[in-house]
Structure 1
Amino acid sequence: MSEHRVTAPEPPADGSKPKGPASYFPSIATTYGRPVQDWLDLAAERLDDHRHMDVVAWLKSEHGLGHGHANAVVAYVKQALAR
């Protein structure tokens, strides 16, 4: 497992909708039947030695995610690791 762990965000406390890549997370969990944390862990591990679009392509081909969903997961992980 990656030495970098990015945790899934909590829903906004005020009941508003999440912004940015996290806005895709409820749909990702519903569509693919796995918690978002699973996808974040996979992307974080893969980003250790692969480029952004390579990880997007891998999530699409190996795990069946749609392009927008895969890109949202990878973008969220990259943004969190850059902090």
Structure 2
Amino acid sequence: MSEDKIKGPASYFPSIEKKYGRPISDWKELVRAAQPAKHMQLVAMLKEQHGMGHGHANAIVAHTLAEDN
């Protein structure tokens, strides 16, 4: 059994998928489609348009932007 735990924003992904019923790839696609925008603008978009909590929205945005840079 591996002792490697997922850390950082990705540690939220299982609970995000369970709570909101969509795969992380869908959420990342929404973030990418809303660019160019600043980090907090993207977080606000997920919260306001999709009812996502701040921590979950922030995790998706942070992970997506890190992948793209």
> TM-score under structure 1 normalisation?
0.76
- In the other structure, the counterpart of 1:31 is 19
Cα RMSD for the two superposed structures: 1.2
> Post-superposition, which runs of at least 4 consecutive aligned residues in structure 1 deviate over 2 A?
14-17
Give the superposition deviation at 1:45: 1.6
Q: Which runs of 5+ in 2 are unaligned?
A: none
Structure of higher RCO (CA pairs closer than 8 Å, 6+ residues apart) = 2
Give the superposition deviation at 1:15: 6.5
- In the other structure, the counterpart of 1:69 is 56
How many equivalent residue pairs? 68
Q: Which runs of 5+ in 1 are unaligned?
A: 1-13
By percentage of residues, which structure has more helix?
2
The aligned amino acid for 1:36 is: I
Residues 15-74 of structure 1 show CA distances to partners (whole Å, capped at 9, x for unaligned) of 63311100000000000011111001111221x221110010010000011000000000
Alpha-carbon distance in 1 for matches of 2:4, 2:18: 19
